[in-house]
Amino acid sequence: MSYPAELYHGDQGEVSGTLWKGDSAPDLVIGGRTDVHYLATGRSTGGQYGLYRWDMGEQPGGPGPHFHKTMSESFFVLSGVVGLYDGDHWVNAAPGDFLFVPPGGIHAFRNPEGPASMLLLFAPGAPREGYFEELAEVAASGRKLSDEEWNDIYLRHDQYMV
State the DSSP string of 37-48.
Answer: EEEE-TTTTTTS
pLDDT at 126: 94
Stated as kind and residue range, the H or E segment containing 147 is helix 147-156
H or E element at residue 126: none
Instruction: Write down the pLDDT at residue 25.
Output: 96
> How much is the CA Rg of the chain, to the nearest whole Å?
17
The pLDDT score that the predictor gives to residue 10 is: 95
The strand pairing partners of 67, in sequence order, are 160
For residue 155, the number of C-alpha atoms closer than 13 Å in the C-beta half-sphere is: 6
Q: Are 33 and 56 in contact (CB under 8 A)?
A: yes
- Which pLDDT score, from 0 to 100, does residue 118 have? 98
Q: Indicate the pTM of the whole model.
A: 0.94
The pLDDT averaged over each successive group of 10 residues in the chain (162 residues) is 93 94 95 96 95 97 97 98 97 98 98 97 96 96 96 97 96
Backbone torsion region of residue 82, taken as left when φ is above 0, otherwise alpha when ψ lies between -120 and 50, otherwise beta? beta
pLDDT of residue 68: 98
Q: Element (H or E) spanning 136, and its range?
A: helix 128-141
- Confidence at residue 131, expressed as pLDDT on a 0 to 100 scale: 97
Phi and psi, residue 33, nearest 5°: -120, -15
* pLDDT recorded at residue 52: 98
pLDDT of amino acid 58:
96
Tell me which residue of 110, 32, 26, 106 sits closest to 68, measured CA to CA: 106
